[in-house]
């Protein structure tokens, strides 16, 4: 029952991403290495006993919508209760808001463990945490006191309600309305779809964060406000009040993550749904972005977790399944010799290395982002800008690479099992179904890629990109000093020039107002950019691995680095060629020609 | 309800793959262009009315194993009956064996239509046809007369029984045994798994082709014989006799293709299973290879069909779904403007082009192989070798490219639908589940790649490769004459040099007896090789498109060719770099390092 590697996680936290350095800051004074280790052990234990044993069952007995309510797997009762007690919801929040104020580096490590064990669970926790954090950051004192404490204990669930049937990814088109009432609250009306974790039998109440337009607000995203809309009113003494007419009108039956419910909500249909404005009117989207940015890293982390579980499932099979024989020097096989285990076939090793390189590369990136978030939270204001910019530019990458490469890795893992991989009694097919949503949640790959190329790369005159290039350069310079890593360092340096080459080709189109051409291959730019970023992470891991005393562990990391540069970095030049091609086929192809 | 494009199919048959030329041969004298068009129409009509309407239902109400029998969806009753009546099982077979002796070019076109409509159906027909054809080709007169006629009418089903639990892809390890009986038949004993279409309520009998070892046979593949083992004995008057103890002991519950049953069979467990030797003892595998080669092309064709259906499902959605806006020259969007249809976003067009390029490229390759098979069947013996070699080298490619690229294309198609793509009430998720088996059936991608690099490329001193290079060169030379195609022709020529470069790097390892190194990246070689082959097919399609009078159709083909060269051919150089890398990481990585 291995679904992640504790030694690798510990290596990433301590040796690659400087946990010790973070723990020296005042913000994290409550923690030391020993207490973090206890936390990691406790969450592993929780995951071993309460999460992993139920992953297949949650798929086979999915959440069910009946009589207006959603019923999830019974195991969610003890899970959510325990997670609240363990402080997993409040882990990242400030002490003054009732949180445990852990480094994000640690919080994301803990959630990664849980997600690798059971990816149907963490969404319930993460959305509640994220919604509570929005209220804590932007809400009034009254809203904080009324709603946050019961969210942190998981007695109540939290959600983010953005998507509407007619709008999809296009938030400027949302039409949910908010009409001011005399008491300062608003009457909310509208439909929200794909709302995850928005109902189940193990919470007394749901606190929805809802994007809506106050009557008369400007068109587009500048007219969107954010509201707290509880499923049930909360009385002043904290007890549960009247129904607030947030109806669950249906559940979406999904290909995977079937234990994690996704619902269609209707506000204000059978009666008034009161909503309470967060912060200023018409600034809702900017508040929501705090949660969206958290959710994007969390989504990438979730993809990483699923890919990790799939990797260890494939590895276990490959180590146990005898099939075929090694070739002799004649090129023939000796049929009378014993069969070999499939892990001894180079093609199987290649597939396992693909999985390992993806899982650990993605995990390192998620933790890299976490480190920057922690630095942002702990450094002087002069340095804050740097870490903010780095977080901003890496955010869409941390969402996208794990979702796309993670999906490929799970798919590869299924292939290792051959025919058995396609059978419902082996778990690989479930992981493949589960991970397929990750590149759609929280903004599809296309949306993330537009964000990266259309916004993050160019913002502040390219400052974020320059800061990231500097970070990569530091790693390259350090690696150039090491004989074992010099070749990779040179390759990474050359590859990162490809980003400049693409921008040199593309930016003039944007300058001339041809934004369609500028952005047409944004998804390929994301592929190129993110592959280089993961190459950077592998080089960082290589540097840290050199100092490891466990020779097997060290060799495993250096070989996987070698795999990544041989098999993945080699794609970069072709991507650059495509991006810099003169062809405008994806613009010119007429609808009628398909 | 569009799942393939009749105009494209007709273009491929007539303008790209020379149906008219084939029809001039004596072998196909019974057919002319008009009769072929009638056949295509009849199968389209059958597919529209009897197949496509049931594809989702066959997934939702899958085949079920109960009381030792498999029960498939009720619609299979009329489907199989009608398919038998229409001659779809006997279509490719020689007239003397009771077949319709159609060109394979046409047969594969007809099956492609059916597969695009409903991929759960054709396996029942194709396996029965293939098994009957093995009996016709290698069996005794008595076996032919006894078994074949009822198979051709689909009253009886046929199967291929190769895989065993302990052997998987490694046929040299099969242990099913055959003990000679006094009457010239054999007593068969053993377990066979993953046996598709091997039981259902709509056939009176199943005629299994079983690989087994006669007692005392040599180890490995040289000791394998092939037997006809009917589920029920057949009396001399043709009536159904006693049970022959071929037990269905279980059904495999699969991720997809759930209407197409896959079972575990046990021979000779509760009583004697009589088997009848086909051809000579210990030559069974070579006979089975006829069926395996047919099944490999059929599997690639099936992947193509699924990808085609997915393409048209995505296209329909993209043409109907409004979302987002086109960018203005300021780089901003006007939120008061009307939403645009998503097909107008370049990223969506890119995804649709990916689907279209894959579907039509794969279909063209399948038909290219069919053309070569037909030329083999109709040319003088001097030319036969050429077409045999071409068929041999393209066979693993026609199996693999549609399964791998087809899977990616369906996955891309799902992404176009965003969140809806992940929902069970949209069909994309089903196509993704259905197509996932294609790269596993009939030899995984790893196995096909070993066949290509380890056997097909080097056999007869590379003759097949040279013949294929010559075919590609002919296309390149013709395209060099056309201004519109010259650039692609040059790229294809350069890319095909990469194959030589890889072999120049790899072959010396084989010469020195280092076959492990030679074959370690066979799967990447397949990726490179097959991408170039599909590029060749697109260049052929481009040449034929230039003569089309329908300007929209022509522009669609030329744009898709452009897509393929911009986005897919650009990967070749990176693949070559990986293949020619000095790193031996997939050999050196120790089991303990994962």
Average pLDDT score, chain B:
96
Phi, psi of B346 (to 5 degrees): -55, -35
Give the minimum alpha-carbon distance from B239 to chain A in angstroms, rounded to a whole number: 36
Whole-angstrom Cα distance, residue B312 to residue B260? Answer: 23
Whole-angstrom Cα distance, residue A23 to residue B239? Answer: 83
Tokens of B227: 């037997």
**Exposure pattern of A483-520 as b/e (b: 16+ CB <10 Å)?**
eebeebbebbeebbebbeebbeebeeebeeebbbbbbb
Tokens of A4: 């992640």
The closest alpha carbon to A132, from A263, A303, A240, A294, belongs to A294
Of B304 and A336, the one with more pLDDT: B304
Whole-angstrom Cα distance, residue A463 to residue A474? Answer: 17
Please tell me the predicted confidence (pLDDT) of residue A351. Answer: 98
- The conformation of residue A182, written as its DSSP 8-state character, comes to T
**Global confidence as pTM:** 0.97
- When pLDDT is averaged across residues A359-387 and rounded to a whole number, the result is 96
The pLDDT of residue A333 is above 90: no
- When pLDDT is averaged across residues A394-410 and rounded to a whole number, the result is 98
Provide DSSP, B92-140. Answer: TS-GGGT-----HHHHHHHHHHHHHH-TTTHHHHHHHHHHHHHHHHHS-
Whole-angstrom Cα distance, residue B509 to residue B520? Answer: 11
Phi/psi region, residue A233 (left: phi>0; alpha: psi -120 to 50; beta: rest), is beta
Please tell me the predicted confidence (pLDDT) of residue A331. Answer: 73
Whole-angstrom Cα distance, residue B417 to residue B422? Answer: 8
- When pLDDT is averaged across residues A278-285 and rounded to a whole number, the result is 97
The closest alpha carbon to A299, from A122, A170, A129, A169, belongs to A122
Question: Comparing B38-42, B244-248, B311-315, B334-338, which segment has the lowest mean pLDDT?
Answer: B334-338
- When pLDDT is averaged across residues A478-507 and rounded to a whole number, the result is 98
The pLDDT of residue A511 is above 80: yes
Q: Kind and range of the H or E element at B422? A: none
- The conformation of residue B218, written as its DSSP 8-state character, comes to P
- A interface test, pick of B220, B350, B509 with most A CB neighbours within 10 Å: B350
- When pLDDT is averaged across residues A39-54 and rounded to a whole number, the result is 98
Are the Cβ atoms of A169 and B418 closer than 8 angstroms? yes
Please tell me the predicted confidence (pLDDT) of residue A179. Answer: 98
Are the Cβ atoms of A424 and B592 closer than 8 angstroms? no
The pLDDT of residue A278 is above 80: yes
The pLDDT of residue B332 is above 80: no
pLDDT band, residue A324 (cuts 50/70/90): confident
Residue owning tokens 């001193």: B461
Average pLDDT score, chain A:
96
Are the Cβ atoms of A339 and B516 closer than 8 angstroms? no
- When pLDDT is averaged across residues A510-520 and rounded to a whole number, the result is 95
Q: Kind and range of the H or E element at A521? A: none
- When pLDDT is averaged across residues A468-473 and rounded to a whole number, the result is 98
Q: Which residues of B touch A256 (CB under 8 A)?
A: 422
Whole-angstrom Cα distance, residue A424 to residue B68? Answer: 20
The closest alpha carbon to B191, from B264, B288, B88, belongs to B264
- B interface test, pick of A162, A196, A331 with most B CB neighbours within 10 Å: A331
Whole-angstrom Cα distance, residue A104 to residue A373? Answer: 7
- pLDDT, tens digit, 9 for 90 and up, residues B115-164: 999 999 999 999 999 999 999 999 999 999 999 999 999 999 999 999 99
Please tell me the predicted confidence (pLDDT) of residue B416. Answer: 98
Whole-angstrom Cα distance, residue B368 to residue B360? Answer: 12
Cβ atoms of residues B248 and B261 within 8 Å: no
Give the minimum alpha-carbon distance from A320 to chain B in angstroms, rounded to a whole number: 11
Residue owning tokens 């049953």: B261
Residue owning tokens 């009897």: B50
The count of CB pairs under 8 A between chains A and B is: 286
Extract long-range pairs of B72-80: CB within 8 Å, 24+ residues apart. B72/B200, B72/B201, B72/B202, B72/B259, B72/B261, B73/B259, B75/B50, B76/B121, B76/B124, B76/B200, B76/B202, B76/B259, B77/B201, B77/B202, B78/B50, B79/B50, B79/B51, B79/B121, B80/B124, B80/B125, B80/B154, B80/B202, B80/B203
Whether chain A has a CB inside 8 Å of the CB on B193: the answer is: yes
Whole-angstrom Cα distance, residue B43 to residue B28? Answer: 19
pLDDT cut 90: percent of chain B above it: 93
- pLDDT, tens digit, 9 for 90 and up, residues B508-560: 999 999 999 999 999 999 999 999 999 999 999 999 999 999 999 999 999 99
Length of chain B: 594
Whether chain B has a CB inside 8 Å of the CB on A39: the answer is: no
Instruction: Estimate the crossing angle of helix B141-152 against helix B122-138, to 10 degrees.
Output: 160
Q: Kind and range of the H or E element at B313? A: helix B284-320
Are the Cβ atoms of B523 and A587 closer than 8 angstroms? no
- pLDDT, tens digit, 9 for 90 and up, residues A101-150: 999 999 999 999 999 999 999 999 999 999 999 999 999 999 999 999 99
Please tell me the predicted confidence (pLDDT) of residue B295. Answer: 94
Are the Cβ atoms of A588 and B559 closer than 8 angstroms? yes
Please tell me the predicted confidence (pLDDT) of residue A450. Answer: 97
Tokens of B426: 């949209």
- When pLDDT is averaged across residues B79-102 and rounded to a whole number, the result is 96
Whole-angstrom Cα distance, residue A531 to residue A524? Answer: 11
- When pLDDT is averaged across residues B488-498 and rounded to a whole number, the result is 98
Cβ atoms of residues B168 and B205 within 8 Å: no
Whole-angstrom Cα distance, residue A567 to residue A291? Answer: 35
Residue owning tokens 């390259």: A476
**β-pair type (B64-66, B69-71):** antiparallel
Q: Which residues of A touch B321 (CB under 8 A)?
A: 168
Nearest neighbour of B570 by CB, restricted to A328, A446, A574: A574
- pLDDT, tens digit, 9 for 90 and up, residues B202-230: 999 999 999 999 999 999 999 999 999 99
Provide DSSP, B452-488. Answer: IIIIITTHHHHHHHHHHHHHHHHHHHHHHTSTTTHHH
- When pLDDT is averaged across residues A19-42 and rounded to a whole number, the result is 98
Are the Cβ atoms of A336 and B514 closer than 8 angstroms? no
- When pLDDT is averaged across residues B257-266 and rounded to a whole number, the result is 97
- When pLDDT is averaged across residues B471-491 and rounded to a whole number, the result is 98
Whether chain B has a CB inside 8 Å of the CB on A511: the answer is: no
- When pLDDT is averaged across residues A189-209 and rounded to a whole number, the result is 97
Listed in sequence order, the residues at least 6 apart from A308 whose beta carbon sits closer than 8 Å to its beta carbon are: A3, A4, A5, A112, A116, A359, A363
Q: Write out residues 253-312 of A within 8 Å (CB-CB) of B.
A: 253-256
CA angle (A53, A363, A557) in 5-degree steps: 105
Give the minimum alpha-carbon distance from A429 to chain B in angstroms, rounded to a whole number: 7
Cα distance between the two ends of chain A: 48
The closest alpha carbon to B167, from B194, B198, B131, belongs to B194
Give the minimum alpha-carbon distance from B25 to chain A in angstroms, rounded to a whole number: 35
Tokens of B275: 């088997």
- When pLDDT is averaged across residues B15-42 and rounded to a whole number, the result is 98
Residue owning tokens 């490219």: B401
The closest alpha carbon to B2, from B221, B293, B312, B319, belongs to B312
- B interface test, pick of A7, A422, A491, A505 with most B CB neighbours within 10 Å: A422
Whether chain B has a CB inside 8 Å of the CB on A360: the answer is: no
Phi, psi of B138 (to 5 degrees): -120, -10
This model of the complex carries an ipTM of: 0.97
Whole-angstrom Cα distance, residue A443 to residue A332? Answer: 51
Question: Comparing A230-239, B34-43, B109-118, which segment has the lowest mean pLDDT?
Answer: A230-239
Whole-angstrom Cα distance, residue B112 to residue B364? Answer: 11
- The conformation of residue B30, written as its DSSP 8-state character, comes to T
Please tell me the predicted confidence (pLDDT) of residue A228. Answer: 98
The pLDDT of residue A411 is above 90: yes
Whole-angstrom Cα distance, residue B132 to residue B125? Answer: 11
Residue owning tokens 């009113």: A233
């Amino acid at each position: 029952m291995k679904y992640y590697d504790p030694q690798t996680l510990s290596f990433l936290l301590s040796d690659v991403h400087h946990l010790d350095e973070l723990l020296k800051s005042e913000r994290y004074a409550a923690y030391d290495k020993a207490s973090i280790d206890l936390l990691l052990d406790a969450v592993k234990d929780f995951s071993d006993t309460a999460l992993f044993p139920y992953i297949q069952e949650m798929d086979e007995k999915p959440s069910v919508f009946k009589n207006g309510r959603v019923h999830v797997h019974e195991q969610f009762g003890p899970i959510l209760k325990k997670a609240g007690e363990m402080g997993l919801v409040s882990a990242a929040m400030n002490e003054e808001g009732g949180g445990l104020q852990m480094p994000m580096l640690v919080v994301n490590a803990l959630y990664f463990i849980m997600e690798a064990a059971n990816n149907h669970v963490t969404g319930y926790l993460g959305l509640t945490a994220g919604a509570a954090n929005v209220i804590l950051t932007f809400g009034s004192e009254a809203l904080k006191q009324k709603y946050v404490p019961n969210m942190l204990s998981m007695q109540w669930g939290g959600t983010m309600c953005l998507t509407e049937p007619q709008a999809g990814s296009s938030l400027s088109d949302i039409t949910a309305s908010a009409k001011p009432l005399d008491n300062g609250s608003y009457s909310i009306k509208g439909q929200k779809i794909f709302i995850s974790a928005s109902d189940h039998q193990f919470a007394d109440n749901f606190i929805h964060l809802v994007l809506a337009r106050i009557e008369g607000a400007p068109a587009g995203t500048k007219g969107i406000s954010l509201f707290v809309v509880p499923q049930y009113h909360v009385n002043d003494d904290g007890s549960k009040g009247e129904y607030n007419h947030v109806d669950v009108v249906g559940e979406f039956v999904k290909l995977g993550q079937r234990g994690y419910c996704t619902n269609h909500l209707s506000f204000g249909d059978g009666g008034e749904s009161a909503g309470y404005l967060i912060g200023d009117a018409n600034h809702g989207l900017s508040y929501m972005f705090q949660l969206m940015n958290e959710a994007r890293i969390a989504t990438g982390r979730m993809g990483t977790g699923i890919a990790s579980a799939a990797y260890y499932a494939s590895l276990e099979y490959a180590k146990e399944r005898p099939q075929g024989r090694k070739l002799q020097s004649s090129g023939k096989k000796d049929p009378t010799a014993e069969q070999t285990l499939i892990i001894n076939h180079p093609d199987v090793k290649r597939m396992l290395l693909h999985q390992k390189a993806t899982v650990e590369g993605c995990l390192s990136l998620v933790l890299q982002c976490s480190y920057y978030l922690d630095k942002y939270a702990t450094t002087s204001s002069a340095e804050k800008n740097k870490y903010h910019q780095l977080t901003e530019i890496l955010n869409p990458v941390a969402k996208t690479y794990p979702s796309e490469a993670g999906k490929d890795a799970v798919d590869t893992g299924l292939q290792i099992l051959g025919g058995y991989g396609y059978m419902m009694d082996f778990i690989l097919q479930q992981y493949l179904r589960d991970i397929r949503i990750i590149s759609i949640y929280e903004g599809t790959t296309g949306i993330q890629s537009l964000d990266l190329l259309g916004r993050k790369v160019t913002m502040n005159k390219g400052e974020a990109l320059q800061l990231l290039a500097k970070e990569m350069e530091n790693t390259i310079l350090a690696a150039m000093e090491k004989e074992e890593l010099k070749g990779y360092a040179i390759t990474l340096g050359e590859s990162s020039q490809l980003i400049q080459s693409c921008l040199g080709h593309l930016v003039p189109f944007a300058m001339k107002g041809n934004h369609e051409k500028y952005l047409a291959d944004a998804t390929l730019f994301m592929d190129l950019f993110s592959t280089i970023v993961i190459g950077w992470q592998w080089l960082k891991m290589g540097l840290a691995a050199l100092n490891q005393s466990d020779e097997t562990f060290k060799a495993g990391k250096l070989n996987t680095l070698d795999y990544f540069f041989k098999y993945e970095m080699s794609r970069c030049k072709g991507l650059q060629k495509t991006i810099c091609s003169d062809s405008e086929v994806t613009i010119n192809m007429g609808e009628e020609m398909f």
